[in-house]
Amino acid sequence: MSADDTALETYLLAAMRLAAHADPPPARLSADAMAALSMRLPGSVVATPADLTAASGARSDGKPQMHRFAAGETTLDVETTITEGRLEIAGQVSPPPTPDAYVEVRTPHLTKVRVPSSDGQFAVTGLPPGWVSVAYHRPSGPPVVTRWLRVRA
Amino acid sequence: MLFEVHDESIPLDLLDDHAWSELVACFDSRMWAVARAAGLGAADAADAVQGAWLRLVESVDRIRDPQAIGAWLMTTTRREALRLGRKAGQEFPTDPPDLYEHPTLLTPDPTTEIVDADYGRTLWSRVSRLDEPCRTMLRLFALNPDARYAQVASRMQIPVGSVGPTKIRCSAKLRTLLAEDPLEC
């Protein structure tokens, strides 16, 4: 079956279910979609995955997963771990940040701010599993944001 | 066309809460249906849909065609579902594209406009024209989103191993029927 046929089959099945009201969406779906809008960071530069073997939607299973993102000269390393049902992030920005720089570790429901150490390291605990993105704010240029990454146990 | 912004001169990077809520109202249920039809369970499907919205948020400054947003959202949801499904250990017949790498380069699927309840209602009439076992099998999969092959096999009294091939054959027959006698979107 071709890729187009696979897509068509998916859309046909979706249309049949919509017509039959066979599978209504959960109530939280709309709230999640609205929450996504609040994650906008106009003017930001998107850092794309630099290590394709590691960078992908991840199931952590308690083991740290490493992801590298890059935008120009800026690199963000993000290590994700699920511990007791909560998401932990440890990361590093490079080149080393200036004193006014800070990092936001963002999920659609909770964002935490950290000032990285002089060598660029930062860490956050207690986040809800799911989609996460890191925004690096620096005085010398626009914020750099990583692509959204899904982390589940 | 599935969605029109009030003023097409408004760039997408100026979309506000109201415009966004209109987008959500128009597409959220359809995106859910796509994620589930791609084979995801409820929790993963909710993640796929939210992932598509987040991809739109990070890409919106670079999408300049408001009329293409619906197709972009459907296609992104389907491909995100394929990606998440592959991570969850499901098998898919084709490799998902690298949406994670280049979401703004995504070319929308040409058939997204059929993800619509009105189209679906007419589609059911085509399904009723199919012979058995296709009619029953497609109904079972459509009306029981979480049905497993073993359950379908038991219900239809056929071997589990023949459910997949039969489903593929039946879907092909439905596509052939639609190609011979297309429905209006």
pLDDT per residue as tens digits for the range B52-110 = 999 998 877 666 676 788 898 999 999 999 988 876 555 443 444 455 555 555 678 88
CATH code where residue A133 lies: 2.60.40.10
B1 is a domain residue: no
Q: What is the dihedral of CA A15, A16, A18, A20, to 10 degrees?
A: 160
Q: What is the mean pLDDT of residues B28-54?
A: 95
Of A9, A19, A40, the CB nearest to B121: A19
Are B175 and B141 in a shared domain? yes
Are A12 and A82 in a shared domain? no
Residues of chain A with pLDDT under 50: 52, 54-57
pLDDT at res. B7: 42
pLDDT at res. B14: 54
B173: containing domain? 116-180
List pLDDT tens digits, range A40-54. 888 899 998 886 454
Are B31 and B88 in a shared domain? yes
Are B36 and B104 in a shared domain? yes
Residue B30 CA: distances (Å) to CA of A7, A11, B45, B70: 14, 9, 12, 10
pLDDT at res. B104: 54
Are B89 and B123 in a shared domain? no
Q: How confident is the model at residue B2 (pLDDT cuts 50, 70, 90)?
A: very low
pLDDT at res. B94: 42
Are A53 and A77 in a shared domain? yes
pLDDT at res. A4: 77
Buried b (16+ CB within 10 A) or exposed e, A29-45: bbebbbbbbebbbeebe
Of A78 and B180, the one with more pLDDT: A78
**Is B120 in CB contact (< 8 Å) with chain A?**
yes
Are B53 and B135 in a shared domain? no
**Is B94 in CB contact (< 8 Å) with chain A?**
yes
Beta strand pairing call for A130-138 and A74-83:
unpaired
Are B75 and B92 in a shared domain? yes
List pLDDT tens digits, range B104-141. 556 788 889 999 999 999 899 999 999 999 999 999 99
The two structure tokens encoding residue A58 = 């991840």
- Nearest Cα neighbor of B27 from B4, B58, B59 is B4
List pLDDT tens digits, range B7-37. 444 455 556 888 888 889 999 999 999 999 9
Q: Do B32 and A58 touch (CB under 8 A)?
A: no
Q: Do A150 and B84 touch (CB under 8 A)?
A: yes
Are B31 and B104 in a shared domain? yes
Are B176 and B104 in a shared domain? no
From B92, B112, B132, the end of a domain falls on B112
- Count how many Cα atoms sit within 13 Å of the Cα of residue B162 in the half-sphere of its side chain: 9
Using CB atoms within 10 Å of the CB of residue B175, give its burial: 0 to 12 exposed, 13 to 18 middle, 19+ buried.
middle
* Omega before residue B133 within 30° of 0, cis: yes
Total domains, chain B: 2
Q: Do B36 and A11 touch (CB under 8 A)?
A: no
Of B28, B30, B34, the CB nearest to A30: B28
CATH code where residue B120 lies: 1.10.10
A15: containing domain? 3-30
pLDDT at res. A79: 95
Q: Do B124 and A19 touch (CB under 8 A)?
A: yes
Residues listed for chain B: 185
Interatomic CA distance for residues B25 and B59, integer angstroms = 20
Are A42 and A114 in a shared domain? yes
pLDDT at res. B10: 47
Residue B23 CB partners (closer than 8 Å, separation 6+): B3, B15, B69, B73
Are B29 and B107 in a shared domain? yes
From B88, B112, B136, the end of a domain falls on B112
Are B73 and B95 in a shared domain? yes
Q: Do A150 and B51 touch (CB under 8 A)?
A: yes
